[in-house]
Chain A
Amino acid sequence: GEDVEQSLFLSVREGDSSVINCTYTDSSSTYLYWYKQEPGAGLQLLTYIFSNMDMKQDQRLTVLLNKKDKHLSLRIADTQTGDSAIYFCAESHTGNQFYFGTGTSLTVIP
Chain B
Amino acid sequence: GAVVSQHPSWVICKSGTSVKIECRSLDFQATTMFWYRQFPKQSLMLMATSNEGSKATYEQGVEKDKFLINHASLTLSTLTVTSAHPEDSSFYICSATGALGNYGYTFGSGTRLTVV
**Chain A interface residues (CB < 8 Å from chain B):** 4, 31, 33, 35, 40-43, 45, 48, 88, 90, 92, 95-103
**29 pairs of residues in contact across A and B, judged by CB atoms under 8 Å:** A31-B104, A33-B104, A35-B104, A35-B107, A40-B110, A41-B110, A42-B6, A42-B93, A42-B108, A42-B109, A43-B44, A43-B107, A48-B103, A88-B43, A95-B97, A95-B101, A95-B103, A96-B32, A96-B101, A97-B34, A97-B49, A98-B34, A98-B95, A98-B104, A99-B46, A100-B36, A100-B44, A102-B43, A103-B41
| Closest CB pairs A-B (n = 8) | A42-B109, A42-B110, A100-B44, A43-B107, A102-B43, A100-B43, A33-B104, A95-B103
Nearest opposing residue in chain B for A47, CB measure: B104
For B105, list chain A residues within 8 Å (CB): 45
> Is B85 among interface residues, defined by CB-CB distance under 8 A?
no
Counting chain B CB atoms within 10 Å of each CB, the highest count among A4, A43, A90, A102 belongs to: A43
> Is B42 among interface residues, defined by CB-CB distance under 8 A?
yes
Nearest opposing residue in chain B for A48, CB measure: B104
Chain B interface residue count, Cβ-Cβ cutoff 8 angstroms: 23
Q: A96-B97, A97-B34 are in contact. Are A45 and B43 (CB under 8 A)?
A: no
